[in-house]
Amino acid sequence: MAVKDFIRERFFPHIWCPGCGHGIVLNSLLRAVESLGMSKNEIVMVSGIGCSSRISGYLDFHTLHTIHGRALAFATGVKLSRPELNLIVPMGDGDALAIGGNHFIHAARRNIDLTAIVMNNRIYGMTGGQFSPLSGCGVMATTAPFATVDAGFDVVELARAAGATFVARSTAYHVQQLTKLLRDAILHEGFSVVEVLTQCPTYFGRRNKMGGAVEMLKWFKENTTPVGSKAKAENPALIERGIFVQKEMPEYCKAYDQVIERAQKGKK
Ligand SMILES: Cc1ncc(C[n+]2csc(CCOP(=O)(O)OP(=O)(O)O)c2C)c(N)n1
């Protein structure tokens, strides 16, 4: 399997708990990259801190494992200095939308050509199960032993409103769709966001009595539906999967190059 060439075997076994969905995302991402025929030298993966962010250690791309919540800021710097490279930024829900929420909306607003993957397990996995801005209301967490009272963000609506030009969602159950969406997101020129609902049986599943990994994956199967389906009209509680936004807008690095050109010519 050619994908094996993309893995740093020396860092295995990985740190993820048995049944964690993050490994499924890693697998889908590798298949997406392989299907694009990209060389690993053309890819830079930038991550922050979290179970999800550890993915950058396991892949033999150019990788930067940075600080919690700041992956998009580092990635913006890399992309502006080397726009010919493909930047992939995997993040946890806390990383992307709690401490990193401001970076997220501004990267979307600028339409810089990065692929942001939000690995949404609705909990802070690495630090022991605190609730995140994507946990939603009525969720048990170590920091909410009597359940949360905060509503969660809808990543798709947030990314859309902030200006992302490609926005999609899938789950760790729907691996073929996920692979395709990751491929489309990498190909898209502009800020692309793929939200992946992924299971954390250890902290989210156990506390919320959702069962183990298999039951959580079944939950994704039974509680999601393709975007625009009839099922959603009949049952508004279903979570939609698919592509929500796909449009062309001026890309930030290209627009910035034009500013440099104008400055060099001395023209306003
Ligand atoms: C500035 C800073 N604040 C807090 C932490 C502690 N910390 C590390 S990972 C993490 C949250 C991880 O949750 P998430 O981003 O959702 O990813 P997951 O582990 O669930 O994949 C926190 C709070 C840190 N490393 N740095």
Across the range 92-102, mean pLDDT stands at 98
Tokens for 31, please give them. Answer: 């298949």
Q: Is 251 in the pocket of ligand 1 (CB under 6 A)?
A: no
Q: Is 50 in the pocket of ligand 1 (CB under 6 A)?
A: yes
Q: Is 48 in the pocket of ligand 1 (CB under 6 A)?
A: no
How far is Cα 155 from Cα 194, in angstroms, rounded to an integer?
A: 9
Q: Is 152 in the pocket of ligand 1 (CB under 6 A)?
A: no
Residue written as tokens 């539906």? 225
Closest CA to 235 of 220, 224, 248, 246: 224
* 247 has pLDDT over 70: yes
Tokens for 50, please give them. Answer: 């979290």
How far is ligand 1, taken at its centre, from the CA of residue 94, in Å? Answer: 6
Closest CA to 98 of 142, 68, 65, 54: 68
**Domain residue extents for the chain:** 2-265
* 28 has pLDDT over 90: yes
pLDDT value, residue 4: 86
The percentage of residues in the chain with a pLDDT greater than 70, rounded to a whole number, is 99
Tokens for 253, please give them. Answer: 């690095």
pLDDT value, residue 267: 72
- CATH number among 3.40.50.300, 1.10.260.40, 3.40.50.970, 1.10.620.20, domain 2-265: 3.40.50.970
Residue of minimum CA distance from atom 22 in ligand 1: 127
* 166 has pLDDT over 80: yes
Q: Is 135 in the pocket of ligand 1 (CB under 6 A)?
A: no
Atom of ligand 1 nearest to the CA of 68: 26
How far is ligand 1, taken at its centre, from the CA of residue 146, in Å? Answer: 22
| Substitution candidate for ligand 1 out of 66, 68, 197 with most atoms within 8 A of CB | 68
* 89 has pLDDT over 90: yes
* 52 has pLDDT over 80: yes
Across the range 46-52, mean pLDDT stands at 98
pLDDT value, residue 1: 58
User: Could you tell me if 165 and 171 are in contact, meaning their C-beta atoms sit under 8 angstroms apart?
Assistant: no
Q: Is 126 in the pocket of ligand 1 (CB under 6 A)?
A: yes
